[in-house]
Amino acid sequence: MSLFICPICGAPLQRGAHTYTCPNRHSYDLAKEGHTHLLPANRKNSKMPGDDKGMAAARAAFLSKDYYAPLKDALCELAIAHTGDAPCVLDTGCGEGYYTSAIYHALRDAGKAPQMAGIDISKFILRLAAKREKAVEFAVASSYHLPVGDASIDFLLNCFSPLALDEFRRCLRSGGHFAYVVPSEKHLWELKEVLYDHPYPNEVKETPYEGFRYVTIRHVEGMMHLTSQEDIHALFQMTPYYWKTPKSGCERLNALNTLDCRISFDIHVFQKL
pTM of the model: 0.93
**Predicted pLDDT of residue 61:** 87
Using alpha carbons, select from 43, 232, 222, 76 the residue that is nearest to residue 159.
76
Q: What is the pLDDT along the chain (273 residues), one digit of tens a residue?
A: 899 999 999 999 999 999 999 999 999 999 999 999 999 875 555 454 456 677 778 888 899 999 999 999 999 999 999 999 999 999 999 999 999 999 999 999 999 999 999 999 988 899 999 999 999 999 999 999 999 999 999 999 999 888 999 999 999 999 999 999 999 999 999 999 999 999 999 999 999 999 999 999 999 999 999 999 999 999 998 888 888 888 999 999 999 999 999 999 999 999 999
- What is the SS3 string spanning the chain? CCCEECCCCCCECEECCCEEECCCCCEEEECCCCCEECCCHHHCCCCCCCCCHHHHHHHHHHHCCCCCHHHHHHHHHHHHHCCCCCCEEEEECCCCCHHHHHHHHHHHHCCCCCEEEEEECCHHHHHHHHHHCCCCEEEECCHHHCCECCCCEEEEEEECCCCCHHHHHHHEEEEEEEEEEEECCCCCHHHHHHHCCCCCCCCCCCCCCCCEEEEEEEEEEEEEEECCHHHHHHHHHHCHHHHCCCHHHHHHHHCCCCEEEEEEEEEEEEEEC
C-alpha–C-alpha distance, residues 119 and 94, integer Å: 6
C-alpha–C-alpha distance, residues 155 and 68, integer Å: 21
First to last CA, the chain: 27
Residue 85 contacts residue 113 (beta carbons within 8 Å): yes
Taking the CA of residue 34 as centre, how many other CA atoms within 13 Å lie in the half-sphere pointing to its CB? Answer: 14
Taking the CA of residue 186 as centre, how many other CA atoms within 13 Å lie in the half-sphere pointing to its CB? Answer: 8
The four Cα atoms 74, 102, 153, 20 give a dihedral, to 10 degrees, of 160
C-alpha–C-alpha distance, residues 35 and 140, integer Å: 8
**Predicted pLDDT of residue 46:** 46
Measured in residues, the chain has a length of: 273
C-alpha–C-alpha distance, residues 106 and 163, integer Å: 25
Residue 147 contacts residue 4 (beta carbons within 8 Å): yes
For the chain, the C-alpha Rg in angstroms (whole number) is 19
**Predicted pLDDT of residue 81:** 98
What class is the 41-272 domain?
A: alpha beta
Using alpha carbons, select from 95, 79, 213, 100 the residue that is nearest to residue 155.
79
